A and B are shown apart, each in its own frame.
Chain A
Amino acid sequence: MPARHKLLILDDEQDILDLFREFLTRLPGEPEIHTAINGARALALLESEPFSLLLTDLKMPNIDGFQVLTIARKKYPGLKTVVISGLGDEQTRSRAYSLGIDLFLEKPKSNKEINLFVDCIEALLNREEVGGFRGIQSKGISDIVQMECLSKNSTVLKIINGPMEGKIWIHDGDIMDAAVGELTGEAAFKKIFGWKSGHFENLPGDPARPRTIHNSYQGLLLDSAQSADESEGGEAPPAEAGAPAAPPATPLAAIARIKGVEFVVSMDTADAKKFDHWGAENPEKAAAWCQKTMQGFRALGEQLKAGPLNQLIAMGSQNNAAMISNASATKDLCVGFHRSLTTT
């Protein structure tokens, strides 16, 4: 006789917990159902005994569903995970699935949907593992920061890279501060951004942390990627015995990971034929356009005595492009991005 399944339901509303408990008692095999009203409680329950399935809401105060899922997927790779959420948009779904969940279900609203919901859970519980790998996907720091900011989360990202430890404070999707060693603010963020491998964990948010970073997360990621580009690929992680280093990502790929970025071209200011690119359909033309445009406006700046050319935003009907130079004006960078992504 198969062992009874143990289910854990996590939601910050007691009525919803009671409702889902009632739905799931219909499951054959009379599973043992536990509930948790907050993320900390759910994590403690998972720690204390083995569960077959975790059903969780996403939007919750302090530790949200994404944070619980991140930890649960990492610590309990055999645990089946289901998101039950009222947030059905594609972005939320993609983010949840990227964490390796098994199912994303919207909260049922009718009898028919309730039956379907119970059937889905039953099918998932009876599903035999047929091989393959389960686990958290490998993500870069820009992905992790973007995920937290896009979801308007409040969290402290603790990032460990060998003997170094950094923290990034995020409140309601805004990056408030960062710290690593004696560095704080943007300098610390850029240092952490330069790390190519390591691991991270989400700590509960710290709304009392004073704000030292006022740049938007997109602007900060672009600046950091630009800094990494200038420092020839960022900082190598310190050696850590037994820890295989992740394959190094190119600085352009780091920018390209920012949601909404469509292409990136980097070229020598003096010679547009010397370029590197990611995602550009016609990189030669894009490099020539960027170099010619930047050159023209640099000359205009000198003619007007208007100071250095800081940045140029070209807005099109479909997409936009931002052009900037490095500090020594030896390289130009052109980033094409979707109109929905702002540069401020």
Chain B
Amino acid sequence: MGLLDIFSKSAGEVKFENLPRGSFTVDPSGKLIASTLPQAYPEELLRGMATAVLSAFQAAREAGQQLRELHVSFGSLKLTAREQRGGAIIFLAPAS
């Protein structure tokens, strides 16, 4: 058991250099519809991204802002989200 631990990686251990590149689509409830990301990428993190994006679109609607797109720049990751009939398509790329 202990031997295999060195190959396992919890979601909290994702490092900067392992940040994902690709895209995924979620429906209005945040359910993953399609993804070009590696299968090994933790779904929990995808859900986290979907929740943040859908909440941002929802908060904008409540504030009277009609948003189409979000561009979010983190220190090592760029996230672009496009609104799609209540859901969203989310693009991820390492920050250059």
Verify B14–A315 contact, CB threshold 8 A. Answer: no
Q: How far does the alpha carbon of A317 sit from the alpha carbon of B14 in the complex, in Å?
A: 35
> Could you tell me the distance in whole angstroms from the C-beta of B63 to the nearest C-beta in chain A?
4
Taking CB atoms, residues of chain A closer than 8 Å to B45 are: 303-304
A316 to B75 Cα, complex, angstroms: 24
- 8 Å CB contact of A293 from B12, B51, B60: B60
Question: A300 near B: Cβ within 8 Å?
Answer: yes
Main secondary structure of the interface of B (DSSP, over half): mixed
Least CB distance, B45 to chain A, in whole angstroms: 6
Interface residues in B1-24 (C-beta closer than 8 Å to A): 11-12, 14-16, 19
Residue ID in chain A nearest B54 by CB atoms: A296
Taking the complex as formed, is A321 at the interface, i.e. its CB lies under 8 A from any CB of chain B? yes
Cβ-neighbour of B59 out of A292, A309, A318 (below 8 A): A292
Judged by a CB distance under 8 angstroms, whether A1 is at the interface is no
Kindly state the separation between the CA atoms of A293 and B71 in the bound complex, as whole angstroms: 12
| Contact present for B63 and A307 (CB under 8 Å) | no
* A314, A315, A317: residue with the most chain B Cβ atoms closer than 10 Å: A314
Residues in B whose Cβ lies below 8 Å from that of A315: 67-71
Does B73 reach chain A (CB closer than 8 Å)? yes
Interface stretch (choices A8-16, A155-163, A283-291): A283-291
Write out the residue numbers on chain A whose beta carbons fall within 8 Å of the beta carbon of B63.
282, 285-286, 288-289
Query: Closest Cβ of chain A: how far from B35's Cβ, in Å?
Result: 16
Interchain CB contact (< 8 A) of B74 among A288, A307, A318: A307
Count of B interface residues, CB-CB < 8 Å: 32
**Distance of A312 Cα from B56 Cα, bound (Å):** 11
Residues of chain A contacted by B48 (CB below 8 angstroms): 300, 303-304
Query: Are A306 and B74 also in contact (CB < 8 A) when A315-B68, A317-B66 are?
Result: yes
Residues of B within 8 A of A299 (CB): 52
Q: For B66, what are the chain A residues with a Cβ–Cβ distance below 8 Å? A: 316-318
- Bitwise, B35-58 to A at CB < 8 A (1) or not (0) is 000000000010011011001100
Q: Is A219 close to B, CB under 8 A? A: no
**B84 within 8 A of partner (CB):** no
Q: Is B65 an interface residue (CB 8 A)?
A: yes
**Which residues 303-344 in A have Cβ within 8 Å of B in the complex?**
303-318, 321
A285–B72 CB distance below 8 A = no
CA distance A26 to B67 in the complex (A): 59
Let me know if A312 and B70 touch, CB within 8 A. yes
Q: Which residues of A contact B72 (CB under 8 A)?
A: 297, 309, 311-312
- Give min CB distance, A65 to chain B, whole Å: 39
Cα A315 to Cα B60 in complex, Å, equals 11
- In the bound complex, residues from chain B placing their C-beta under 8 Å from that of A310 are 73-75
B77 within 8 A of A: yes
Cβ-neighbour of A307 out of B51, B69, B77 (below 8 A) = B77
State whether A297 and B56 are in contact (beta carbons under 8 Å apart), knowing that A282-B63, A307-B77 are contacts in the complex: yes
Most buried by A among B19, B62, B75: B75
Please determine whether A314 and B19 come into contact, CB atoms closer than 8 angstroms: no
Cα–Cα distance between A312 and B52 once the two chains are bound (Å): 12
Q: Contact at A304–B75, with CB atoms within 8 Å?
A: no
Closest partner residue, chain B, to A303 (CB atom): B48
Contact of B16 among A282, A307, A321 (CB under 8 A): A307
Q: Are B60 and A314 in contact (CB under 8 A)?
A: yes
27 cross-chain CB contacts under 8 A: A285-B63, A289-B65, A293-B56, A296-B51, A296-B52, A296-B56, A297-B56, A300-B52, A301-B74, A301-B77, A304-B49, A304-B77, A305-B16, A306-B74, A306-B76, A308-B74, A308-B75, A311-B73, A312-B72, A312-B73, A314-B65, A314-B70, A315-B67, A315-B68, A316-B67, A317-B66, A317-B68
